[in-house]
Amino acid sequence: DAKTTQPPSMDCAEGRAANLPCNHSTISGNEYVYWYRQIHSQGPQYIIHGLKNNETNEMASLIITEDRKSSTLILPHATLRDTAVYYCIVRDTGANSKLTFGKGITLSVRP
Protein backbone atom coordinates (compact mmCIF):
# COMPACT_ATOMS: atom_id res chain seq x y z
CA ASP A 1 0.00 0.00 0.00
CA ALA A 2 1.05 3.57 -0.66
CA LYS A 3 2.49 5.31 2.38
CA THR A 4 1.20 8.70 1.31
CA THR A 5 -2.16 10.44 1.28
CA GLN A 6 -3.10 13.17 -1.14
CA PRO A 7 -6.38 14.98 -1.77
CA PRO A 8 -8.03 13.66 -4.92
CA SER A 9 -8.03 16.93 -6.84
CA MET A 10 -7.35 20.61 -6.86
CA ASP A 11 -7.28 23.45 -9.32
CA CYS A 12 -5.45 26.69 -9.77
CA ALA A 13 -5.40 29.60 -12.19
CA GLU A 14 -2.86 29.77 -14.96
CA GLY A 15 0.15 31.82 -13.94
CA ARG A 16 -0.41 31.32 -10.24
CA ALA A 17 1.53 29.02 -7.96
CA ALA A 18 0.16 25.53 -7.47
CA ASN A 19 0.83 24.04 -4.03
CA LEU A 20 0.23 20.31 -3.92
CA PRO A 21 0.16 18.77 -0.42
CA CYS A 22 1.15 15.27 0.63
CA ASN A 23 1.03 13.51 3.98
CA HIS A 24 3.50 10.76 4.83
CA SER A 25 3.26 10.46 8.58
CA THR A 26 4.88 7.01 8.77
CA ILE A 27 7.97 7.92 6.77
CA SER A 28 11.19 6.47 8.13
CA GLY A 29 14.65 7.94 8.24
CA ASN A 30 16.01 6.30 5.07
CA GLU A 31 13.01 7.05 2.89
CA TYR A 32 12.97 9.73 0.25
CA VAL A 33 9.95 11.70 -0.95
CA TYR A 34 9.54 11.54 -4.72
CA TRP A 35 7.14 13.39 -6.97
CA TYR A 36 6.10 12.25 -10.42
CA ARG A 37 3.39 13.50 -12.69
CA GLN A 38 1.46 11.82 -15.45
CA ILE A 39 -0.15 13.66 -18.27
CA HIS A 40 -3.02 11.81 -19.87
CA SER A 41 -1.95 8.61 -21.65
CA GLN A 42 1.76 9.23 -21.14
CA GLY A 43 4.29 7.56 -18.86
CA PRO A 44 5.00 9.13 -15.46
CA GLN A 45 7.49 11.99 -15.55
CA TYR A 46 9.97 12.48 -12.73
CA ILE A 47 9.74 15.92 -11.13
CA ILE A 48 11.82 16.12 -7.98
CA HIS A 49 12.82 14.25 -4.84
CA GLY A 50 14.21 15.01 -1.40
CA LEU A 51 15.19 13.51 1.92
CA LYS A 52 15.23 16.26 4.53
CA ASN A 53 16.10 19.55 2.94
CA ASN A 54 13.98 21.61 0.61
CA GLU A 55 14.84 21.09 -3.02
CA THR A 56 14.39 23.15 -6.16
CA ASN A 57 14.94 22.42 -9.80
CA GLU A 58 13.80 23.86 -13.10
CA MET A 59 10.38 22.27 -12.77
CA ALA A 60 9.36 22.72 -9.15
CA SER A 61 10.23 23.17 -5.50
CA LEU A 62 9.79 20.57 -2.80
CA ILE A 63 9.20 21.71 0.76
CA ILE A 64 9.51 19.00 3.41
CA THR A 65 8.43 19.76 6.98
CA GLU A 66 11.01 19.47 9.72
CA ASP A 67 9.39 16.32 11.13
CA ARG A 68 9.23 14.93 7.56
CA LYS A 69 5.63 13.89 8.00
CA SER A 70 4.37 16.01 5.14
CA SER A 71 5.58 17.84 2.08
CA THR A 72 4.40 20.31 -0.55
CA LEU A 73 5.23 20.39 -4.21
CA ILE A 74 5.20 23.91 -5.60
CA LEU A 75 4.82 24.74 -9.26
CA PRO A 76 5.67 28.44 -9.18
CA HIS A 77 3.83 29.57 -12.31
CA ALA A 78 1.33 26.94 -13.40
CA THR A 79 0.51 26.64 -17.09
CA LEU A 80 -2.23 24.70 -18.86
CA ARG A 81 0.38 22.06 -19.71
CA ASP A 82 0.82 21.35 -16.01
CA THR A 83 -2.65 19.79 -15.88
CA ALA A 84 -1.89 16.21 -14.84
CA VAL A 85 -2.08 13.63 -12.07
CA TYR A 86 0.69 14.24 -9.53
CA TYR A 87 1.98 11.36 -7.44
CA CYS A 88 3.76 11.75 -4.13
CA ILE A 89 5.74 8.60 -3.30
CA VAL A 90 7.78 7.58 -0.29
CA ARG A 91 10.59 5.34 -1.40
CA ASP A 92 13.14 3.29 0.45
CA THR A 93 16.63 3.41 -0.93
CA GLY A 94 17.14 -0.26 -0.11
CA ALA A 95 17.62 -3.26 -2.32
CA ASN A 96 14.49 -3.05 -4.44
CA SER A 97 13.42 0.56 -4.39
CA LYS A 98 10.26 -0.11 -6.36
CA LEU A 99 7.80 2.74 -6.52
CA THR A 100 4.44 2.29 -4.81
CA PHE A 101 1.96 4.68 -6.37
CA GLY A 102 -1.29 5.82 -4.81
CA LYS A 103 -4.04 7.45 -6.80
CA GLY A 104 -2.32 10.83 -6.84
CA ILE A 105 -3.85 14.26 -7.01
CA THR A 106 -5.39 15.58 -10.20
CA LEU A 107 -4.31 19.16 -10.80
CA SER A 108 -6.44 21.17 -13.19
CA VAL A 109 -5.01 24.47 -14.33
CA ARG A 110 -7.72 26.82 -15.55
CA PRO A 111 -7.18 29.66 -18.03
* Residues found near another protein in the complex (CB under 8 A): 2, 30, 32, 34, 36, 41-46, 49, 51, 85, 87, 91, 93, 95-104
> Using an 8 Å Cβ cutoff, are 18 and 11 in contact?
no
Please say which residue, 14 or 106, places its beta carbon nearer to another protein.
Answer: 106
Please say which residue, 14 or 63, places its beta carbon nearer to another protein.
Answer: 63
Compute the least distance from the CB of residue 56 to another protein, in Å.
16
> Using an 8 Å Cβ cutoff, are 31 and 96 in contact?
no
Compute the least distance from the CB of residue 38 to another protein, in Å.
8
DSSP string, 7-75: -SEEEEETTS-EEEEEE-TT--TTEEEEEEEE-TTS--EEEEEESSS-EE-SS-EEEE-TTSSEEEEEE
Please say which residue, 41 or 111, places its beta carbon nearer to another protein.
Answer: 41
Compute the least distance from the CB of residue 87 to another protein, in Å.
6
